Structure 1
Amino acid sequence: MYMPPQFNAKDPAIALDLMRSHPFASLISNDDDGLPFVTHLPLVAERRADGELVLLGHCAKPNPHWRYLQARPQAVATFLGPHAYLSPSVYPDLARVPTWNYLAVHCTVEARLIEEPMAKDALLKKLIGEHEPAYAQQWRDLGEEFQHKMLAGIMGFELQVRALQCKVKLNQHRRESHAAMHAVYGAGTSDEKALAAWMERLGLMADAPAAEGR
């Protein structure tokens, strides 16, 4: 993605935090006609003991995406964090235009399908443990026949992250806007409040000049 240097977040902890707190991703690869094919789905980011970063997920068997991954394993997974409009009213001068602030992660991945029933069951249990641990007992109580039927209806996959970009666009290069921007976001929607929290986390408020007349 387009990455001006002031928005390039190189700390891997920021990217991992974003992927875990906003797991609903877009998985993008090419179909048999060479056109982009997109599936919107939750992906669980996992850092292995050897430092490797993988994304775990599954799709419905009728979804042809898994066949495209089988034929062409390289793909891109994107995660979108909090985002919001920014009014030019946050600047002390009038010669400004609106913009949109956001946090996003793009991963170049190599896909490996998880097809064997027991491996898919282990994958599902790991995903259940991530999203709703209390459901694990209900899944076990459904019985093997039902479990096998459900497992047959999905294709699991592991996406090995080969490269990663993390973009944090919070007007870092416009220090004079930070105090007013933080005040507006801090009193706004849930996304805006999340952006205000990220401004604090990244230290953008440490040396922000006070907002005049606000």
Structure 2
Amino acid sequence: MNPVAAFQPARPSEIDRLVAEYPLALVITAAADGSPQATPLPLVLQRDAQGEGVLVGHFSRKNPQLDLIRQQPRGLVAFSGAQGYIATSWFRDRRYAPTWNYEAVHFTVDIELDDRPEAAAAALETLIAHAEAPYPTPWCSQEMGPRFAQLAQYIVPFRARIVATEAQFKLGQGDPADVLADTYAGLARYGRHELAAAMRRHEQLQAQRAASA
């Protein structure tokens, strides 16, 4: 990532918010010869009292990327949030160039595999609790009975300790009010509600930060 100062998250907590809302990440590692492998995985971010973070997840036991991680545990975990094209054709003033707005967070991590059965159960429980939390009658693993332990045998859980963080929230470029109004109208017209919500939240947080400065 090439983080630009103007496109940093309005608050550090926005990084954790993005990971919680968009938990599917790309876990990227490489062999000694530089050959990369990547796996999309849902992950849960946990932080201790000092703010140090780990990402909790699991690989399929048959995933060949496990061999790379055992050789070299350093990796990159890439999360993407709301994103989408901003079309000049939406604007009354067509002198502006089109662009792509997005939220992205990259973590450099050290991945620790843990092959104990209790670690597999804990990793699954962590992910299930996070994914089910928004729903009124969340499902729990006990409802599966002994089949839960059977399925847990087919995964290798891990904890990825975060050693560096880069974020870029390109959710506006200081556009004038008329261009911004046309942008939101276009996003609404084509159903890009997640991106519009992300842009409005970013604007509000930036305004709050400016007011308190």
TM-score, scaled relative to structure 1:
0.84
Return the alpha-carbon distance in structure 1 between the equivalents of residues 141 and 116 of structure 2: 20
Please, which moves more after superposition, 116-125 or 74-83? 116-125
Return the alpha-carbon distance in structure 1 between the equivalents of residues 54 and 131 of structure 2: 17
Q: Does 2:52 match 1:61?
A: no
Return the alpha-carbon distance in structure 1 between the equivalents of residues 166 and 88 of structure 2: 28
Aligned to 2:38: 38
Return the alpha-carbon distance in structure 1 between the equivalents of residues 97 and 125 of structure 2: 49
Counterpart of 1:187, as a letter, is: R
8 Å contact kept, 2:24–2:79 = yes
List per-residue Cα deviations over 1:134-157 (Å, max 9, x = no partner): 132223x1x2xx444423321110
Aligned to 2:143: 138
Identical positions, percent: 32
Q: Does 2:163 match 1:162?
A: yes
8 Å contact kept, 1:179–1:205 = no
Please, which moves more after superposition, 15-24 or 84-93? 84-93
- What is the alpha-carbon root mean square deviation over aligned residues? 2.3
8 Å contact kept, 1:129–1:136 = no
Return the alpha-carbon distance in structure 1 between the equivalents of residues 95 and 140 of structure 2: 55
Please, which moves more after superposition, 105-114 or 121-130? 121-130
8 Å contact kept, 1:172–1:204 = no
Please, which moves more after superposition, 30-39 or 170-179? 170-179
List per-residue Cα deviations over 1:1-49 (Å, max 9, x = no partner): 1222211226221111111100011000103542111101111111223
Aligned to 2:107: 107
Please, which moves more after superposition, 60-69 or 44-53? 44-53
Return the alpha-carbon distance in structure 2 between the equivalents of residues 61 and 150 of structure 1: 11
Number of aligned residue pairs: 201
Distance 1:93 1:206, change over 3 A: farther
Return the alpha-carbon distance in structure 1 between the equivalents of residues 199 and 22 of structure 2: 18
Structure 2: which 5+ residue stretches go unaligned?
133-137, 208-213
Return the alpha-carbon distance in structure 1 between the equivalents of residues 95 and 107 of structure 2: 37
Secondary structure at the aligned position of 1:202 is classed as: helix
Structure 1: which 5+ residue stretches go unaligned?
208-214
Return the alpha-carbon distance in structure 1 between the equivalents of residues 116 and 205 of structure 2: 51
Deviation of 1:91 (Å)? 4.7
Q: Does 2:73 match 1:89?
A: no
Counterpart of 1:136, as a letter, is: S
Deviation of 1:206 (Å)? 9.6
